[in-house]
């Protein structure tokens, strides 16, 4: 029997990269998946088409999760189409690397507005859709929450906040049988990482050399862990930070 048969899942920021990988893996495990996107309709439609071609069920839902009105609209659509939610993956996020001298209030609010406040408001809006049997919330964090490399003060700060929020919400929502965990990837080969030059240059080689498993991650590496956390197999896992970085710890 499929691990997530008859489950309804929402993956935010799922038009590409880690989010797309998680959406496809959840669908393969039997869930019906709402594939959220902010601007890339073509990307989300492609993910939905791939899920459907493999025999799964998915719909694309547009919404910028840095905006309260968009969050409200996405969850209203989920209520209308499915009536409930069993799995929420808070994946939507932005990042930029810069030295302290280049930090601006605008960049701070851009990253914290989506990575932290958007995650909180998303979770808040999802709560009424979880039934008495509870469910699973997976917050996509990052190893930078603890590794915190130079030039990442804002981004690392947002992911540190995600870990703290995860612990707090796991205690707050546990009585409702809603498990909350952080899934924290290391470097993953995605469209965004490639566009920033992280994948094709020496940096990726250095990261791979520092990783005990000898390579950088792929979206499917993260997606498999998300399926586990979403399923009843992780029914006793709550309030945890799962590092998915091939053994890299610093």
- Nearest to residue 114, comparing CAs of 9, 223, 243, 13? 13
Q: Choose the catalytic residue: 37, 75, 95, 155.
A: 155
Q: CA 75, CA 53: separation in Å to the nearest integer?
A: 26
- Nearest to residue 63, comparing CAs of 114, 138, 137? 114
Annotation says 37 is catalytic = no
Q: CA 118, CA 111: separation in Å to the nearest integer?
A: 10
Query: Quick one: DSSP state of residue 150?
Result: T
How many other CB atoms sit within 10 Å of the CB of residue 18? Answer: 29
Query: Are 70 and 63 in contact, with CB atoms under 8 Å apart?
Result: yes
The residues that are catalytic are 155
């Amino acid at each position: 029997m499929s691990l997530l048969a008859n489950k309804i899942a929402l993956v935010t920021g799922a038009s590409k990269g880690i989010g797309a990988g998680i959406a496809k893996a959840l669908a393969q495990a039997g869930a019906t998946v709402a594939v959220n996107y902010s601007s890339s309709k073509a990307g989300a439609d492609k993910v939905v088409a791939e899920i459907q071609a493999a025999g799964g069920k998915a719909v694309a839902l547009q919404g910028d999760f840095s905006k309260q009105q968009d969050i409200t609209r996405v969850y209203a659509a989920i209520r209308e189409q499915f009536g409930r939610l069993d799995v929420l993956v808070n994946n939507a996020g932005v990042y930029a690397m810069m030295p302290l001298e280049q930090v601006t209030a605008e960049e701070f609010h851009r990253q914290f507005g989506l990575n932290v406040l958007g995650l909180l408001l998303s979770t808040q809006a999802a709560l009424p859709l979880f039934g008495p049997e509870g469910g699973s919330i997976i917050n996509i964090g990052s190893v930078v929450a603890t590794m915190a490399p130079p030039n990442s003060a804002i981004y690392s700060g947002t992911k540190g906040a995600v870990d703290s929020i995860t612990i707090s919400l796991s205690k707050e929502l546990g009585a409702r049988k809603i498990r909350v965990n952080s899934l924290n990837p290391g470097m993953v080969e995605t469209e965004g990482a490639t566009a920033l030059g992280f994948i094709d240059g020496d940096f990726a080689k250095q990261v791979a050399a520092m990783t005990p498993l000898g390579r950088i991650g792929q979206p499917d590496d993260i997606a498999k862990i998300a399926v586990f956390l979403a399923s009843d197999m992780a029914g006793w896992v709550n309030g945890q930070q799962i590092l998915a970085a091939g053994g890299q710890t610093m």
